Amino acid sequence: MPTLYSALRPLLFRATPEGAHHLSIRAGKLGQRAPGVLRAVFRSGLSREQAARLSVRALGLEFANPIGVAAGLDKNAELIPMWAAVGLGFCEVGSISALPSAGNPKPRAFRLPEDRALVNRMGLNNHGLDAIARRIERTRRPAGFPLAINIVKTHDPSILGDAGIQDFAASARRLLPLADLLVLNVSCPNTTEGKTFEDPEALEPLLDAVMRVRAELASTVPVLVKLSPPATVDFDSAAVDELVDLSLERGIAGFVATNTASDRAGLRTSPGRLDAIGRGGLSGAPLASRAEALVRHLARRAGDRAVIIGVGGIDSPEEAYRRIRAGASLVELYTGLVYEGPGLIPRTARRLVELLDADGLELLEDAVGLDR
């Protein structure tokens, strides 16, 4: 598969990033009609015993392997069967908002090939709660394939304060019964109103509202909070710790670390090109070291009280394994899939087994947090 994708990539990269994305979604929708074919193309080649070493028990769920797809690639939950068929252990769909949103004006996604990165300011375009919930209900869910659903406040600067909390809570109420995990996106850098909930005073009433809805529904679905990356690897942790402690007090089960970054520190792409692109969230390789630093910090701070999903700049099996050793029980891919193609998924599964062997470890779970 990697060779096929390397052949296709120049063609895909001739399209705009958003055009290539739509093409991939269409191909995925076609492909998932024949999941057996996808499974054959993307098989890892691991024996049953080897594959079993990669399984992860976390958050009261069984994951066949720790590799998932990050939010934003399947915003409208159209490809759940495909994600299972290409060999992932779980998927995160969304971000879904209570009201549908067209997002920001185009162009709003850009490639930075010199940095193996992307910049996007999609602005939370999605079909909205009702349409997506109905789609998930109609989807034949692959067995043993946990579904994480990511929710966000509707991108509309007039929905603020208590209305913003009610907007979020409406999504939680409708989607908790359909989800295996619920992720609260409080860290999207691409809205007019900014990151309204990533400060403790705003996060507290949001968590209270969502956890109240969860209690009313008698739901046991774990709720996670998705965080922004720190500005540097040696960041001042006080602000993060406040969010973490507050979240744990309110019964949050874990963290997704991290979302995209607003800054442009340390890039190879020319300043002129960056100026021409303008604002937006940076994803991909330049995020890796600081996303890893945050995972390590979270693992130390929260210990066994939280499960960490590591995301940000994971574009190789080795990077995935480093993130796991730093403290992530699960990892997610987005920009890595754009540059490496879906062959990255079976390649990562195969190589993770070799990396465990090299470290004398039997189970992937034994590697979680070894370097924290």
Ligand X SMILES: Cc1cc2nc3c(=O)[nH]c(=O)nc-3n(C[C@H](O)[C@H](O)[C@H](O)COP(=O)(O)O)c2cc1C
Of 53, 66, 75, 154, the one binding ligand X by CB under 6 A: 75
CB of 368 to ligand X, least distance (A): 19
90 near ligand X, judged by CB under 6 A: no
Tokens of 248: 């744990």
Closest CA to 167 of 191, 143, 145, 146: 191
Q: What is the maximum alpha-carbon separation in the chain?
A: 55
Three-state SS at 308? strand
Stretch that binds ligand X, among 35-43, 65-73, 164-172, 264-272 (CB under 6 A): 65-73
CB of 357 to ligand X, least distance (A): 26
CB of 73 to ligand X, least distance (A): 7
CB of 81 to ligand X, least distance (A): 20
Backbone angles phi, psi at 225, to 5 degrees: -115, 130
309 near ligand X, judged by CB under 6 A: no
Of 70, 85, 181, 320, the one binding ligand X by CB under 6 A: 70
Tokens of 54: 């990669």
Stretch that binds ligand X, among 38-46, 158-166, 297-305, 329-337 (CB under 6 A): 329-337
CB contact at 8 A, 211 and 250: yes
- Helix (DSSP H) and strand (DSSP E) numbers for the chain: 14, 13
Of 64, 71, 169, 203, the one binding ligand X by CB under 6 A: 71
CB of 117 to ligand X, least distance (A): 8
Of 146, 313, 342, 369, the one binding ligand X by CB under 6 A: 313
Q: How many CA atoms lie within 13 A of 172 on its CB side?
A: 31
> Partners of 117 in the beta sheet?
112, 284
Stretch that binds ligand X, among 134-142, 157-165, 170-178, 327-335 (CB under 6 A): 327-335
Q: Could you give the C-alpha distances from 291 to 72, 159, 234, 256, 365, in angstroms and in order?
A: 17, 30, 11, 10, 20
Tell me the chain's radius of gyration from C-alpha atoms.
19
Nearer Cβ to ligand X (71/298) = 71
Of 44, 65, 97, 150, the one binding ligand X by CB under 6 A: 150
Stretch that binds ligand X, among 60-68, 191-199, 306-314, 339-347 (CB under 6 A): 306-314
Cα(334)–Cα(349) distance, integer angstroms = 16
Tokens 């999207």 belong to 188
Backbone angles phi, psi at 40, to 5 degrees: -70, -45
- Residues 334-363, mask of contacts with ligand X (x by CB under 6 A): xxx---------------------------
Stretch that binds ligand X, among 216-224, 235-243, 281-289, 341-349 (CB under 6 A): 281-289
Is residue 262 packed enough to be buried (19+ CB in 10 Å), middle (13-18) or exposed (0-12)? Answer: middle
Stretch that binds ligand X, among 141-149, 207-215, 307-315, 345-353 (CB under 6 A): 307-315
120 near ligand X, judged by CB under 6 A: yes
* Nearby residues of 256 by Cβ (< 8 Å), 6 or more positions away: 71, 92, 183, 224, 225, 226, 227, 308, 309, 311, 332
185 near ligand X, judged by CB under 6 A: yes
Q: Is the peptide bond before 157 cis (omega within 30 degrees of 0)?
A: no
Of 31, 72, 222, 230, the one binding ligand X by CB under 6 A: 72
Q: Rule CB under 6 A: which residues touch ligand X?
A: 70-72, 75, 94-95, 109, 118, 120, 122, 124, 150, 185, 188, 226, 259-260, 283-284, 287, 311-314, 333-336
